[in-house]
Structure 1
């Protein structure tokens, strides 16, 4: 029996709505029309989901989340646009915090890391640091190798 997939809504309405994947490796992707698409993730896959919304008066939502797709038995957070839900590893709200989070993702990529394969503990650490306006430490190759080694011995 195959594990159920986590479904993520992608949407773009010019000057109104932009829900998109910043990173992640969906196992399936389907375009519905010019403004909507759906991506599916296997359990335990990590992805970055950005949500931006505006109305006639300006921006009403800036949110960046790093999520881990779950299994049916997992405790998952309810995330708009993500069904049935996901484990929230990082959540940043507001333009300034979101921009700092995205800058950190770019730093990881420039250092040669795929953000979808970074240790979940680093995303939780980053959530805590950025939520309180602190400067986070950079993710290192040693940390990454330790994470990969830990994955081989843990179920």
Structure 2
């Protein structure tokens, strides 16, 4: 069947069909120097290629991932954004987010390239500690969001903080 609809329309239909499988689906697009949506970190459960420029990655409930969106026009960057999101389980409350179905628990939401660069540096710092950012405490991403939004540097995520998070998660079990 020849489908002449724009890629976004096909992807939207695909996302709505996938929505009933209990996973969180993120539409990624790459049009070099125009529109770039990518995952900075996260454990992908499924990856479907829709077109040469578009694919859908899916995350299991509870998975944490960072979704970066960037777009430009002839005059320069028009959108720079990063969201750190926890994928939700069916029937769990969520916040809607463009290109994410059904949505998620948004731990961090930052706009503007200078602030996005700060978040990317914070992610790099977590990795430098030897911790996968997916496994970092969700409260750390909320902290990073609040500090950057207030114009302050976020405190670093240390191995000590990570161990405390793991123990807390074990107790809450």
TM-score (norm 1): 0.94
Instruction: State the number of aligned residues.
Output: 154
- Confirm whether residue 75 of structure 1 aligns to residue 82 of structure 2: no
Please say if residues 3 and 42 of structure 1, whose CA atoms lie closer than 8 Å, have aligned partners that are also in contact: no
Residues 1:24 and 2:17 aligned together: no
TM-superposed CA distance for 1:30, in Å, is 1.5
Asked if structure 2 preserves the Cα contact closer than 8 Å seen for 1:78 and 1:86, the reply is yes
Out of 22, 43, 46, the residue aligned to residue 4 of structure 1 is 22
Give the superposition deviation at 1:104: 0.9
Q: Which has the larger radius of gyration?
A: 2
Alignment partner of 1:104 is 2:122: yes
Q: 1:37 aligns with which of 55, 63, 68?
A: 55
Aligned counterparts of 1:74 and 1:30: Cα–Cα separation in 2: 25
Q: What pairs with 1:5-154 in structure 2 (closer than 5 Å)?
A: 5-154=23-172
Cα offsets for 1:64-93 (capped at 9, x unmatched): 110000012222111101000011000110
**Unpaired runs of 5+ in structure 1?**
none
Q: Which runs of 5+ in 2 are unaligned?
A: 1-19
The answer to whether the Cα contact below 8 Å between 2:129 and 2:159 also exists between their aligned partners in 1 is: no
Provide the aligned C-alpha RMSD in A.
1.4
Residues 3 and 71 in structure 1, CA contact (< 8 A), matched pair in contact too: no
Kept after mapping to 2: 8 A contact 1:41/1:69: yes
Could you tell me whether the CA contact under 8 Å between 1:22 and 1:50 is conserved in 2?
A: yes
CA distance in structure 1 between the partners assigned to 2:56 and 2:133 by the alignment: 20
Q: Which of the pair is proportionally richer in helix?
A: 2
CA distance in structure 1 between the aligned counterparts of 2:21 and 2:85, rounded to whole angstroms:
17
Give 1 or 2: higher strand fraction: 1
